[in-house]
Structure 1
Amino acid sequence: MIKVGLIIDEFFGGAGTAFGGYGFLAREYIAKYIPNEDIQVDVLLGKGSRKLFAEEFKVDDIVAYRLPRYKWSAKRWLKNKNYDIYLSIELTDSYVLINEPNKNKKLILWIQDPRPQYEWDEINTVKLFPEYNYYNQKIYDLVHEWYQQERVKFISQGYFLNQKAIDLYNLAQNVDIEYMPNPIEIDQDFCVKSFEKKNMIIFLGRIESVKRGWLFCEIAKKMPDIDFYVLGKTHREESKNSEIMSNYYSIPNLNFVGHVECEEKIKYLKEAKILVNTSIHEALPISFLEALSYGTLLVSNRNPEDLTAKFGIHVGDVLGDGFDKINLYVNAIRQLLDDEEYRKRVSLEAINYIRDIHDVDKIVPKLRNTIIEEI
């Protein structure tokens, strides 16, 4: 059996970790679908609190570990585990790789949201509540070192991310990067033609600076005849985020639902006509793919893989705190809601696109084959 060490710093709430896009992909798709009779997946959450021994957690049907704090113990533990290959969603922690004693081990690095310094320069235009900057040159240099040693296989969820990864990890312009779109569970029984959607607008994601949730609230304030729902919760810097959002709790048509999962989340995705994304920065959010899979169109200042423009309205760049551009979103929402014939046609096109490109049943065999080929 092939043993895969999945390196991730969050596991969508599992083992006390944060709820976020990387963790959702790791828990709901990789750890859930990739293991079979030939492949075992362990989740590696970086350094733990115990000095000599690893911490072990059972999450769903997967075992997750935090490695010993003492490096020699971590090296010994990894030697005993003897993973055949590592898989990382981006790479936000280097502890596992720097302690891997076998110089022949390889890494499959799934490019999700590479952030070179110029991306952080854009993010840092937000002044109301600056985003925590986790830029870490040592990690990027480590990936470059492994790449020079021919120990890294790059896969990418979006073509538009490849140049950013090349810049971040200092790769050759002709580096081989395999296209590996993020998977989505498809509800084959859902028929958008017969389903009666509501005049409902949703925000789906964590409440934090980079998401600029305050803009969604400002949009709701300007559209009192439409119901707006915030689906998500604070995690990092919770008190500051909550303080900002509490200013909007009294808006009658704005509903703060909190974190949603499974059938509850699907209910909102089905019923909503539009998902609004106000982030200063995004790669290709899984929330976009989930929304489109139910024919829920997009309004955003971000346009990854041209999806917002194809299946909604791209309002253009909105830098800084964004308060001066609220009407761009308001006008885009009105435009989609006022043209029901267009909205229904594009909703169907969106569903067909997701089923063609992002169906989990198509992606899983492809990722398994990549793992096997790299051993």
Structure 2
Amino acid sequence: MNLVGRFQEIANNIQHCRWDRQRHQQLQHWAKTRYQSASRACVTRSPHLIFLCEEFFHPELRGFGGFGKTVKNITDNLDSPSHELKGGVAYPPAVTTIQTPECREYHGAPVVMRPYENPPSEATLNRYADLLVELQPRLMLSIDWYPSYEVPIHALPDTPLIVWIHDPRDREEWERIAAVPDELRFRGVASAADLVALTHEKEQSIKRLFALQRKLPRKIAFATTARSLIPRAERTYGIGPINAHWLPNPIDIPPLDTVEQTERPSLLYLGRLDAVKRPWIAFELARRHPDVDFLIAGQANNAELMAPWLARYQHLPNLKLLGHVDGEAKDRLLRTCWALLNTSVHEAEPVSFLEAFSYAKCVIACHDPDNAVSNFGYYTGEILGEGLDEHALQSYSQQINLCLQGTQERLHRGQSGRDEMLRNHTFESFVKHLSCIMNTELI
């Protein structure tokens, strides 16, 4: 970069920082006004658990990720006459397809959205906040913490908040992700430093959250899906020590009379075909294990980046490219596969792991959250980078062979995983632990 370009970049950064500072000052002033007025609409609705999440398992709400699936599972179960507390979503990202704040229904749950404005007008912010107040918010539950959550947090300045730790990404995790080819292109950044900078943004954002709390008191607590994630969360958010309650990720656990499996050995890949997930490892393993069917259930967010990999491997007869699956098709795959195969360079406690365990199926993976894969599956050890080096592929092949050839051990580990899901990952367990946290924290 020449000197003129460098000065222009510095000037742009200074202007961006000034705009950011003005935006945060505007939000603080607005929150103070809302807090002092303490206006509450006259409502007849049930009180709501308001989720902060950047996705909600719908193509209009950033697709079909695991976080959105978790929120959908909970709002589905709360939508029952037996539960006084209902579920709703304060959708944090600004939406370009609407002109004014709206409350729309997705999966039977209210989702409050705001239009894109830079900066947002006070009228827009007030209408957005009023729609949230109409839901009679009892508690906000955020899936991790993202800077986009600041608008709904300021909209409800006196509503208690639980930050539910799912997948915190500190500097080390972003460097691990950045080492995967195509990941920088997928995210539209020039260097690993640009990804690492995201950690700094989260750290500054959560510090603003606690600065707001000091001015406008609200109860803030932490919960986590896996205890092993707490140190990473402390590094990600630059705070600590974090005293996080355990709040299990609930899933729908299927009835299961017997454990089924396909006649021919099969491994199920359940996830997006994106660089961070490294699906090409599954493709190469299919080439090396022609007697095993590799069932690839997922679609690419960037088809152009994935096209060369598909062109290289899609001729393999045992590589079954199924696209996105859900409902009965997904149920059938989980019921009949021999095990779940995960190849991602980064994971925390994926919903897909819990779903596989619920069907008494083992997981083969290079991540081991709270020793779940060691106990209920086959752990390859840590595998970094592209994952196509001989050591990485042999590590996966060794665990695949152990899994497929050791029938009794595979069935025993699978059943143990299902037992764990029945003990701790039902919706009833989630409600019990959430109620306990609320009582302990006086929420």
TM-score norm. by structure 1 comes to: 0.90
What is the CA deviation profile of residues 78-108 of structure 1, one whole-angstrom value per residue up to 9, with x for unaligned ones? 4423234322111334255367255433321
What is the CA deviation profile of residues 152-197 of structure 1, one whole-angstrom value per residue up to 9, with x for unaligned ones? 2111000011111111112222x321101111211234333xx345
Counterpart among 343, 346, 350 of residue 410 in structure 2: 343
Q: Normalized per residue, which structure has more strand?
A: 1
1:329 and 2:396 are equivalent in the alignment? yes
In structure 1, the residue corresponding to 2:86 is in which secondary structure?
Answer: strand
Counterpart for residue 232 of structure 1: 298
User: Is the contact made by 2:297 and 2:321 (CA closer than 8 Å) also made in structure 1?
Assistant: yes
1:8 and 2:71 are equivalent in the alignment? no
What is the CA deviation profile of residues 103-152 of structure 1, one whole-angstrom value per residue up to 9, with x for unaligned ones? 43332111100001111111112125446348253343232343463642
Report the alpha carbon displacement of residue 218 of structure 1 after superposing the two structures with TM: 0.2
Q: Normalized per residue, which structure has more helix?
A: 2
Counterpart among 28, 43, 55 of residue 102 in structure 2: 55
Corresponding letter in the other structure for 1:268: L
Counterpart for residue 159 of structure 1: 227
User: Is the contact made by 1:15 and 1:57 (CA closer than 8 Å) also made in structure 2?
Assistant: no
Report the alpha carbon displacement of residue 309 of structure 1 after superposing the two structures with TM: 1.2
Flag structure 2 segments of 5+ consecutive residues without an equivalent.
1-45, 188-194
Counterpart among 207, 228, 241 of residue 144 in structure 1: 207
1:215 and 2:281 are equivalent in the alignment? yes
Counterpart among 335, 357, 360 of residue 295 in structure 1: 360
In structure 1, the residue corresponding to 2:378 is in which secondary structure?
Answer: strand
Flag structure 1 segments of 5+ consecutive residues without an equivalent.
none
1:253 and 2:298 are equivalent in the alignment? no
Q: State the distance in 2 between where 1:267 and 1:332 align.
A: 24
Q: State the distance in 1 between where 2:91 and 2:376 align.
A: 36
**Highest CA radius of gyration, 1 or 2?**
2
- The 5-angstrom pairing of residues 1-375 of structure 1 reads 1-13=46-58, 15-27=60-72, 29-35=73-79, 38-46=84-92, 47-49=94-96, 53-68=100-115, 69=117, 70-80=120-130, 81-82=132-133, 83-97=137-151, 100-101=154-155, 103-130=157-184, 132=187, 133=195, 135=198, 137-147=200-210, 149=213, 151-173=219-241, 175-192=242-259, 195-198=260-263, 199-235=265-301, 237-324=302-389, 325-367=392-434, 370=437, 375=443
Q: State the distance in 1 between where 2:227 and 2:181 align.
A: 30
Distance 1:311-1:79 versus aligned 2 partners, 3 A rule: closer
Report the alpha carbon displacement of residue 371 of structure 1 after superposing the two structures with TM: 5.5
Q: State the distance in 2 between where 1:374 and 1:248 align.
A: 56
Alpha carbon RMSD of aligned pairs, Å?
2.4
Higher relative contact order (CA 8 A, sep 6+): 1
Q: State the distance in 1 between where 2:153 and 2:223 align.
A: 23
Distance 1:77-1:128 versus aligned 2 partners, 3 A rule: closer
Corresponding letter in the other structure for 2:109: I
User: Is the contact made by 1:34 and 1:368 (CA closer than 8 Å) also made in structure 2?
Assistant: no
What is the CA deviation profile of residues 249-273 of structure 1, one whole-angstrom value per residue up to 9, with x for unaligned ones? 1111100011111121111111111
Task: Flag as ranges the 4+ runs of structure 1 deviating above 6 A.
Answer: none
Q: State the distance in 1 between where 2:359 and 2:414 align.
A: 8
In structure 2, the residue corresponding to 1:94 is in which secondary structure?
Answer: helix
In structure 1, the residue corresponding to 2:51 is in which secondary structure?
Answer: strand
Report the alpha carbon displacement of residue 354 of structure 1 after superposing the two structures with TM: 1.5
Distance 1:370-1:53 versus aligned 2 partners, 3 A rule: farther
Report the alpha carbon displacement of residue 370 of structure 1 after superposing the two structures with TM: 4.2
Q: What is the aligned length?
A: 370
In structure 2, the residue corresponding to 1:349 is in which secondary structure?
Answer: helix
In structure 2, the residue corresponding to 1:171 is in which secondary structure?
Answer: coil
Distance 1:159-1:227 versus aligned 2 partners, 3 A rule: same
Report the alpha carbon displacement of residue 351 of structure 1 after superposing the two structures with TM: 1.3
Q: State the distance in 1 between where 2:88 and 2:411 align.
A: 43
Q: State the distance in 2 between where 1:95 and 1:163 align.
A: 22
User: Is the contact made by 2:246 and 2:433 (CA closer than 8 Å) also made in structure 1?
Assistant: no
In structure 1, the residue corresponding to 2:162 is in which secondary structure?
Answer: strand
Q: State the distance in 2 between where 1:190 and 1:78 align.
A: 48
Q: State the distance in 2 between where 1:274 and 1:206 align.
A: 18
In structure 1, the residue corresponding to 2:384 is in which secondary structure?
Answer: coil
Q: State the distance in 2 between where 1:96 and 1:74 align.
A: 15
In structure 1, the residue corresponding to 2:322 is in which secondary structure?
Answer: strand
Corresponding letter in the other structure for 1:322: G
Amino-acid identity (%):
25
Q: State the distance in 2 between where 1:366 and 1:351 align.
A: 20
Q: Which 10-residue stretch deviates more, 72-81 or 223-232?
A: 72-81
In structure 1, the residue corresponding to 2:54 is in which secondary structure?
Answer: coil
